[in-house]
Structure 1
Amino acid sequence: MWIEDEYKESKDNPLHKEFGIWSNTRYILGKILKYRPEVVALLLLGMVCSSVLSYFWGIFGKYVIDIIQAGLTEEEAVGRLIRIVLLAGVIACLLNIGSVLSDNLIWYRFIYVRMQMITERIARVLSLKYELIERPDVLDVARRAEQATGGNMNGVEGVMRYMQMLLTSLFTVGVTFVAVLVLDFRLILALIALCVIQFLYYRKIVEKDKKEVWDKLSDSWRKTDYMERVTQYCDHAKEIRLFNLSEFLSKKQEDTYRYKEEKWDVHYELWFKNSFVTQVANVVIKALIYSVLFFAVFTKDLSIGNFTLFLSLSMAFSQALLDFLQRFGDYKRASLETDDFRSFIELEIDDDEKDCIEIPMADTYEIEFKNVSYKYAKSETYALKNLNLKLKPGQKLAVVGLNGAGKTTMIKLLLRLYDPSEGVITLNGTDIRKYRREDYYRLFAPVFQNVEIFAFLMSENIAMHSRDKLDRDKVKECAISAGLEEKLGSLVKGIDTPLTNVVEDDGIDLSGGEKQKLALARALYKGSKIVVLDEPTSALDAIAEQRLYEQFDEMIGEKSAVYISHRLASTRFCDQVAMFENGSLVELGSHDELMEKGGKYADMFNVQAQYYRDNPEEQLEGQEVEKVG
């Protein structure tokens, strides 16, 4: 059921491409030949067997009637009938076996090809530059590519399944066309006209069904899903009981279902009309075929045997033609969805990693921002403007500022998740864009604010390698150093304990603090030259945050480190403090230097200082701390 308007939004995306139905057919056949080449043979087998079965018994009937009318002796006639029945039985068995084999061996191979295409899509997602996966236009084509590999009769699998149906219908039309043409060419024209009229009415019903039912139900699906989540899951259970919302929510759900039932009534009424028209059209087609055949009997001395043969072939022709017209619309829709898949897979992105050089081996690395600015796509203002900053070997740098000051953008540029819009970032004097990203990433051990826990073993979560490739002793050492010794002692499987119960039933969940320790263990295991701590303690209270930062600093040792926070627990033990505001570096110096300067950093530190002290009356830095609130 193809409605082109459904794809207007995707065509508005400049990254979306239209490849055409024949190009997509060749493309999908190429995937079939690559992953499951035997599918082509199964397609041809099913096409021939299913097609011939649709008119086989008409051919059999002709020969039976011809034998009966041949004026043979009873013994000779019975002998011929037995032989033809046996032959027809063998042929019919072979045709049915071929058709069943094709149907039963091909469907899961279609799924296998689709799964391989999903693997291609995921590999494409994982290979995209981080900067691209935040762009709305890239996210749009990625989401549509995901929908195109959703399965069943949609997208890439839909092309394969409809291809199977279309080949059978087309083969039947081709075989039977000649026979009907020999009978009466006017019958061909009449049958084509009736099938086209029936198809056009079918398309009208499809469009009306979409407009009056499915378009209006789009909001209803979301409402229904929402109401089912609210009423059946425990997220809102406390509020429902304490505020006595049962009757209120039940009424809301009933209203949603009532609206859907009204639209379903319209849906079934439309398709009842289509069924009625289809039956009338079938009666007209059969009447027309019988009329032509009766006329041929009287005017062309058509035998009863040939009458049976042409009747079967004419019926098969009309049904196959109608099936082809209706399925071709579905095939075109699936092809349009395949455009979505190919638009993402064949996304044209500049290859900025050509002619890259190796990162030189060194004990220490110095990174410098030189007049670096960055502007997000479609933004009119700079998120970071004209930054000049140097991270020296072994230096501890605190990056501070309020939310939205530019800290996160600066870190993404440092890690080369983004490339500068202007200026350059150098590693030991060389532009980092001359290195492969994969090589550059190895220099950093990050600990982010949101700790991502994978549904793997704890050891795999720390090492970020599969079990057969990790160093178990090193994993344990890093976990203990990060403060997970007590947790490991409580686990029967130790570092082989699965995390989360998404995959394994005996998986465990970690607390917020344990996740942060695991993230630190992960950074320690990686053992990179530069450690980046991007607000990993935002969920902790101020004093616990300061103590954890001090532990981090002790474990990091002589490595270079960058601490990012809008709170100031990390600044006093850092060599340099970089204060950001509105995308600009406004102050740079040691903690003591900036406090003595009495600028924005000093103001911010004094406001926060009371939260980092066990005794709120204690004075810090010999200064009077004004109590807030």
Structure 2
Amino acid sequence: MKFLRNNYIIAKKAFKNYKVYAILSIVMGLLGAFSPIFSNYLIKDALDIGSSSFSIQKFYETLICFLIYTLAVSILSNHFSRVYTPSKLNDIARNINLKIFRHALKLPVKNYDDPGFLNTYNYILSNGVSSAFDAFNSFASLITEIFSLSILFTLIISLEYKLLIICFISSIINFIINLKLSKISYDEQKELVYPERKSSYVSRTFSLRFYMKELKTTMLAVPLIKLFKSSVDEKTDINVDYGKKYERLLNLQSLLSNLSLALSFVLLVNMFINKKISAGEFAFAFNSFGQLSSSITSFLSIFPGMYRNSFVVEDILNFFSTPVCYEESGMELNEVDSIELKNASFSYDGTHENLKCINLKINKGEKVAFVGLNGAGKSTLASIITGLYKVDSGDYLINGSDAYAYKQKDLYKKFGIMLQDFNIYSLTAIENIFMDSSENISTIEKEQAFELIQRLALDNKFEDVNKLCETYLTSELEDGGLNLSGGEEQKLALSRILIKPYDVLIFDEPSSRLDAYSEKSIFDSILEVYKEKTVIFISHRLRNIKNVDRIYYIEDGKIIESGNHIDLMNKKGAYYELYKVSSQSEQ
């Protein structure tokens, strides 16, 4: 069956990587299975002392063996469950999450515009580790429960077979109920993901510095609190709705449990009255019946758990089968000589076209600019060129070949983009500049980064190379972390692009947070220093891009004008009108 196959796939991978833990789990389960049976014999012997030839000396010998055994099992179990298992669970959690993170890096950015994908992704991040662990433990439990059932079955059938019939009937009904409970639990958790995302989003906004400034100075907290309340109400409605379903099935389980217990009790009392069993055998049979019922229930409950777990595993398997951006075995990209889009169109949601029949060609060393009103498609076009998004129709060519035939990692090494919505991370400053781990950054590169920081006038924040390497940015995770101003953050984001040997540099609003002096200095520096590089600007401040080789005016996802500044001004078209408005607003 599919649910067994899904659990087996995950359990097999876990067993392959954690054989010792797997074997120890089974051994500990088997050792634990003996304790209740041992205890039953002890009670039987105690009750039969004096009423049979059973000697008190033999009872004490049995008691001492029982105490030694249970103490040894308890000590081993405590170490296994409290020391050994948590370390292995953390190891499993780390490996699974790392695989999820690494696969997520390979997926198209477009996936993250899909709420359905985000819901599933968040769900497997929350439940993927526990599901893998549960799948593994389920198979270990199966072995333990089969062993326990075999012993209890043999003991009870030697006394009264009718007890087995009562046990099996009640357990099968319990099994069916547990299957339904498992499906209900999975459905509830899936429905809770979206309201959980909303409440978590609000919680995050109230915990981060760059949100708190606006929360304190505006009334934005009102709609956010409203959103939080509505998400909690949503969760409450879901919990209550599913709680009623749980309630009906759990009440049925309680009724069934009490009924089977009463029937077994009546059956054993009659046997005792008719002297078919002794007092010790009565206690032994009754306790064994309870243990058998519990063991059958535990055995059968493994399957509803696996059934529920199967849905999560299915989500995990589907996630890892999600098509990646490009094949890693593609062509090597050594140098970018030309970029060309032919009749290229793109849509985020599959309905509204954000880019429509784009045609352009940019040769090596050219300086171009994309201009237009907000929402025209400029940033989307830059993301297409960088390879973050893939065109839906038409062609994107690099050096005359299909851009998507190149290795993705080569594409990202050749195209550097400063995003308009860049982020500053709670890592060291040097890691924020190189966007890499500090151990991968050479001493020479660190020196070069400090020289660049000096050119960008950030050396007042980082006096030397050591400060650059030791200072953590933001105070979100580190006490004493450095919080930069908006302009300083933009300069640091600029340094990420300028520090690496990209063939193509893309600047999406690189100066929106800078003062006029810094802005002009940076634009002039880029045009002067990177003469041989291909540079693409996206800017609302048109005075800074007058000297580029070609300007593309984009409107509603289409290129409606192109040319240099003088040509476009002479046309007196859309660019001319925008430039006039821009010049007046900048005066």
**What are the within-5 Å matches in structure 2 for residues 284-303 of structure 1?**
284-297=259-272, 301-303=276-278
User: Residue 359 of structure 1 corresponds to which residue in structure 2?
Assistant: 333
Deviations 1:233-291 (A, max 9, x none): 96655668xx9x9xxx99x98xx99x979x98x9799869957973x655544443343
Q: Is the 8 A contact 1:448 1:533 kept in 2?
A: yes
Question: 1:171 and 1:455, CA in 2 relative to 1: closer, same or farther beyond 3 A?
Answer: same
User: Residue 551 of structure 2 corresponds to which residue in structure 1?
Assistant: 577
Structure 1 gap segments, 5+ residues each: 1-18, 614-629
Q: Is the 8 A contact 1:458 1:496 kept in 2?
A: yes
Deviations 1:199-238 (A, max 9, x none): 7778889999999x99999999899989999999966556
Q: What is the deviation of 1:574?
A: 0.9
Deviations 1:368-424 (A, max 9, x none): 324231222553454333333222222211111122323223212221223333333
User: Residue 128 of structure 1 corresponds to which residue in structure 2?
Assistant: 107
User: Residue 618 of structure 1 corresponds to which residue in structure 2?
Assistant: none
Deviations 1:440-468 (A, max 9, x none): 22222322212221211111211223223
Letter in 2 for 1:426: L
Query: In 2, distance between residues paired with 1:407 and 1:218?
Result: 33
Instruction: Return the match for 2:167 from 181, 191, 195.
Output: 191
Deviates more, 1:32-41 or 1:509-518: 32-41
Q: What is the deviation of 1:339?
A: 1.7
Q: Is the 8 A contact 1:176 1:317 kept in 2?
A: yes
Rg: which structure is higher? 1
User: Residue 340 of structure 1 corresponds to which residue in structure 2?
Assistant: 315
User: Residue 145 of structure 1 corresponds to which residue in structure 2?
Assistant: 124
Matching of residue 26 in structure 1 with residue 43 in structure 2: no
Q: What is the deviation of 1:572?
A: 1.0
Q: Is the 8 A contact 2:113 2:348 kept in 1?
A: no
Q: What is the deviation of 1:589?
A: 1.4
Matching of residue 58 in structure 1 with residue 40 in structure 2: yes
User: Residue 182 of structure 1 corresponds to which residue in structure 2?
Assistant: 158
Q: Is the 8 A contact 1:545 1:569 kept in 2?
A: no
Query: In 2, distance between residues paired with 1:340 and 1:505?
Result: 38
User: Residue 623 of structure 1 corresponds to which residue in structure 2?
Assistant: none
Q: What is the deviation of 1:295?
A: 4.1
Matching of residue 457 in structure 1 with residue 412 in structure 2: no
Matching of residue 411 in structure 1 with residue 382 in structure 2: yes
User: Residue 369 of structure 2 corresponds to which residue in structure 1?
Assistant: 398
Deviations 1:42-101 (A, max 9, x none): 3212321232222321123334556644547xxxx3443343333333333334344434
User: Residue 400 of structure 2 corresponds to which residue in structure 1?
Assistant: 429
Deviations 1:533-590 (A, max 9, x none): 1122334577875554334434434422111124413321212111122222222211
Q: Is the 8 A contact 1:476 1:495 kept in 2?
A: no
Query: In 2, distance between residues paired with 1:430 and 1:226?
Result: 42
Query: In 2, distance between residues paired with 1:308 and 1:226?
Result: 57
**What are the within-5 Å matches in structure 2 for residues 77-96 of structure 1?**
77-96=55-74
Deviates more, 1:420-429 or 1:47-56: 420-429
User: Residue 610 of structure 1 corresponds to which residue in structure 2?
Assistant: 584
Query: In 2, distance between residues paired with 1:558 and 1:540?
Result: 26
Q: What is the deviation of 1:299?
A: 6.2
Query: In 2, distance between residues paired with 1:305 and 1:423?
Result: 85
**What are the within-5 Å matches in structure 2 for residues 151-166 of structure 1?**
151=130, 155-160=131-136
| TM-score, normalised relative to structure 2 | 0.82
Letter in 2 for 1:193: I
Question: 1:400 and 1:142, CA in 2 relative to 1: closer, same or farther beyond 3 A?
Answer: same
Query: In 2, distance between residues paired with 1:216 and 1:575?
Result: 53
Matching of residue 100 in structure 1 with residue 78 in structure 2: yes
Deviates more, 1:467-476 or 1:60-69: 60-69
Q: Is the 8 A contact 1:368 1:388 kept in 2?
A: no
User: Residue 446 of structure 1 corresponds to which residue in structure 2?
Assistant: 417
Question: 1:78 and 1:183, CA in 2 relative to 1: closer, same or farther beyond 3 A?
Answer: closer
Query: In 1, distance between residues paired with 2:85 and 2:508?
Result: 51
Q: Is the 8 A contact 1:59 1:309 kept in 2?
A: yes
Q: Is the 8 A contact 1:395 1:559 kept in 2?
A: yes
Query: In 2, distance between residues paired with 1:282 and 1:55?
Result: 21
Q: Is the 8 A contact 2:426 2:473 kept in 1?
A: yes
**What are the within-5 Å matches in structure 2 for residues 460-539 of structure 1?**
460-470=431-441, 471-489=445-463, 493-539=467-513
Q: Is the 8 A contact 1:399 1:562 kept in 2?
A: yes
Question: 1:494 and 1:190, CA in 2 relative to 1: closer, same or farther beyond 3 A?
Answer: closer
Query: In 1, distance between residues paired with 2:469 and 2:71?
Result: 60
Query: In 2, distance between residues paired with 1:182 and 1:495?
Result: 75
Deviates more, 1:111-120 or 1:155-164: 155-164
Query: In 2, distance between residues paired with 1:178 and 1:231?
Result: 62
User: Residue 8 of structure 1 corresponds to which residue in structure 2?
Assistant: none
Deviates more, 1:413-422 or 1:221-230: 221-230
User: Residue 4 of structure 1 corresponds to which residue in structure 2?
Assistant: none
% same residue: 23
**What are the within-5 Å matches in structure 2 for residues 34-45 of structure 1?**
34-45=16-27
Query: In 2, distance between residues paired with 1:580 and 1:224?
Result: 38
Query: In 2, distance between residues paired with 1:310 and 1:67?
Result: 17
Letter in 2 for 1:149: G
Q: What is the deviation of 1:518?
A: 0.8
Q: Is the 8 A contact 1:546 1:569 kept in 2?
A: no
Q: What is the deviation of 1:523?
A: 1.4
Deviates more, 1:485-494 or 1:88-97: 485-494
Letter in 2 for 1:145: I
Instruction: Return the match for 1:329 from 304, 318, 323.
Output: 304
Query: In 2, distance between residues paired with 1:218 and 1:359?
Result: 41
Letter in 2 for 1:441: Y
Q: Is the 8 A contact 1:369 1:387 kept in 2?
A: no
Q: Is the 8 A contact 1:368 1:426 kept in 2?
A: yes
SS at match of 2:153: helix
Deviates more, 1:484-493 or 1:422-431: 484-493
Q: Is the 8 A contact 1:449 1:534 kept in 2?
A: yes
**What are the within-5 Å matches in structure 2 for residues 210-249 of structure 1?**
236=215
Query: In 2, distance between residues paired with 1:312 and 1:26?
Result: 34
Structure 2 gap segments, 5+ residues each: none
Letter in 2 for 1:509: N
Query: In 1, distance between residues paired with 2:204 and 2:331?
Result: 53
Q: Is the 8 A contact 1:158 1:334 kept in 2?
A: yes
Letter in 2 for 1:346: S
Query: In 2, distance between residues paired with 1:162 and 1:84?
Result: 33
Question: 1:98 and 1:48, CA in 2 relative to 1: closer, same or farther beyond 3 A?
Answer: farther
Instruction: Let me know the Cα RMSD of the aligned residues.
Output: 4.4
Letter in 1 for 2:162: R
Deviates more, 1:575-584 or 1:80-89: 80-89
Q: What is the deviation of 1:300?
A: 7.9
Q: Is the 8 A contact 1:535 1:565 kept in 2?
A: yes
Instruction: Return the match for 1:320 from 295, 301, 304.
Output: 295
